[in-house]
Amino acid sequence: MIDIKFLRENPEAVKENIKKKFQNSKLELVDKVIELDAESRAAKQQADELRSNRNKISKQIGTLMAQGKKEEGMALKEEVTKQARQLAELEEKESRLSEEVTKIMMQIPQIIDPAVPIGKDDSMNVEIERFGEPVVPDFEIPYHTDIMEKLNGIDLDSARKVAGNGFYYLMGDVARLHSAVISYARDFMIDRGFTYCVPPFMIRSNVVTGVMSFAEMDSMMYKIEGEDLYLIGTSEHSMIGRFIDTINKEEALPYTLTSYSPCFRKEKGAHGIEERGVYRIHQFEKQEMIVVCKPEDSKMWFDKLWQNTVDLFRSLDIPVRTLECCSGDLADLKVRSLDVEAWSPRQKKYFEVGSCSNLGDAQARRLKIRVSGEGGKKYFAHTLNNTVVAPPRMLIAFFENNLNEDGSVRIPEALRPYMGGKEVIK
């Protein structure tokens, strides 16, 4: 959420940012906010004047009563009662207008970083760098679920009967590999100085609206009926929520955390060729990383976070590339985002396996995550998040890039300790 003071002083800059994100329907919101904010501040000023005047009159009443001027004192008491009613009306108006301003402000996108390329959708994302040589073997690579089925590692038919489409049973060595990847990713991040955490898998609505836009909330989150609770779509939600309404000592920053959680997503409106199998699913597990830091450090941490994902995938012999997300592909709270994509030998193209995001002070402003700096000065922290690894989608890249011609799958050396020393899955 943008600073209201910045919007007041730079309305045209905010409008230009909205245009860069191709959300012209939101342009009118800027003028609406300015109008309502002016009314709210005027009501507050009137209320402050009434409070000040009431205090003066109260002192006068005390003086008059002490002097025995009861009649004059009672007249002033009536004036105080009248002003109390006016004050209550102004306070109600101020509160109502303030709520309206906040609601509209939460719909206005965050100011994007100058490095973000301008484009309408993900087709305009820009490739930055490739890591590892993408290889297409001489033999045909089957669809990922076919590979898993031949290894007796997945049961989609039973899952459909039990839970419907978008769910799966992982079995045997494939299930073990799934857990091995998560455990390896956990230790990988701990070795890089991150603190391991297992967070709540449900969060309240005030945390949901603090970490994401209304549009994202509608398309992703599952609501627990009859309770103010939502299933998390990623552990970032509850991890950032951990700092809600806190004042953190500047010297304690940054907080660098890596978290495990199951994730639940409606995947509303998601359609495409690769939906079959385990590419787009309603339930999966994930290792995440988040950082809460000083504003001047967020750019540095952004680069460190995506590099962690690249390094992890390369340690498993999977070629990857990085893409800078264009303006139209950024969620409203994001300042900047970079996708990590893994090579698919079957499709002969890259596909997304992780997303690194710098949210500036957007989440911190919504959740009141503040920092106490030099001289006790308070300011909002910056928050960042990135996927370490998210199987089973990551397993698609793993199986395709480590498949042998005979249908067996090679286990990279880094994963063998987590697979009981196995070098191959047959």
- Mean pLDDT, residues 124-128 taken together: 97
Residue 328 CB-half CA count within 13 A = 13
Residue 63 clears pLDDT 80, i.e. is over it: no
Per-residue model confidence (pLDDT) at position 331? 92
User: Residue 85's pLDDT band (boundaries 50, 70, 90)?
Assistant: confident
Span 89-104, pLDDT tens digits: 888 888 899 899 999 9
Place of tokens 């997503």: 265
Residue 86 clears pLDDT 90, i.e. is over it: no
Between 378 and 84, the higher pLDDT residue = 378
User: Residue 268's pLDDT band (boundaries 50, 70, 90)?
Assistant: low
Say which of 265, 321, 365, 370 is annotated catalytic: 265
User: Known catalytic residue: 352?
Assistant: yes
Say which of 242, 365, 366, 393 is annotated catalytic: 393
Between 422 and 267, the higher pLDDT residue = 422
Say which of 352, 408, 410, 416 is annotated catalytic: 352
- Mean pLDDT, residues 21-46 taken together: 93
Residue 332 clears pLDDT 90, i.e. is over it: yes
Span 187-241, pLDDT tens digits: 999 999 999 999 999 999 999 999 988 777 878 899 999 999 999 999 999 999 9
- CATH number of the structural domain 4-105: 1.10.287.40
Closest CA to 360 of 292, 309, 305, 303: 292
Q: State the amino acid at position 57 in one-letter form.
A: I
**Cis previous bond, 319, omega within 30:** no
Least confident of 45-59, 210-224, 279-293: 45-59
Per-residue model confidence (pLDDT) at position 55? 64
- Mean pLDDT, residues 123-144 taken together: 95
State the virtual CA torsion across 109, 111, 114, 119 in degrees, nearest 10.
10
414's CB contacts (< 8 A; 6+ apart) are 184, 315, 316
- Mean pLDDT, residues 322-348 taken together: 96
On average, the pLDDT of the chain sits at 91
Say which of 235, 238, 337, 355 is annotated catalytic: 355
User: Known catalytic residue: 416?
Assistant: no
User: Known catalytic residue: 8?
Assistant: no
Between 68 and 153, the higher pLDDT residue = 153
- Mean pLDDT, residues 306-329 taken together: 97
413-418 long-range contacts (CB < 8 A, ≥24 apart) are 414/184, 414/315, 414/316, 415/177, 415/180, 415/181, 415/184, 415/316, 418/179, 418/180, 418/181, 418/183, 418/184
Between 219 and 248, the higher pLDDT residue = 248
Say which of 41, 96, 280, 416 is annotated catalytic: 280
Per-residue model confidence (pLDDT) at position 79? 67
Per-residue model confidence (pLDDT) at position 58? 65
What is the CATH architecture of 122-425? 2-Layer Sandwich (3.30)
Closest CA to 98 of 43, 50, 46: 43
Domains of the chain, by residue range, sit at 4-105, 122-425
User: Residue 69's pLDDT band (boundaries 50, 70, 90)?
Assistant: low
**Backbone φ/ψ region at 269: left (φ over 0), alpha (ψ -120 to 50), beta:** left
Burial 332-370 (b: 16+ CB within 10 A, else e): bbbbbbbbbbbbbbbeeebebbbbbbbbbbbbbbbbebb
Residue 123 clears pLDDT 60, i.e. is over it: yes
User: Known catalytic residue: 28?
Assistant: no
The rounded distance, in Å, linking the Cα atoms of 187 and 259 is 11
Span 355-383, pLDDT tens digits: 999 999 999 999 999 999 988 899 999 99
196 within 8 A of 259, measured Cβ to Cβ:
yes
Span 142-161, pLDDT tens digits: 999 999 999 999 999 999 99
- Mean pLDDT, residues 287-295 taken together: 97
Q: Edge-to-edge, what's the strand order for the sheet holding 230-231?
A: 202-203, 230-231, 222-223
User: Known catalytic residue: 365?
Assistant: no
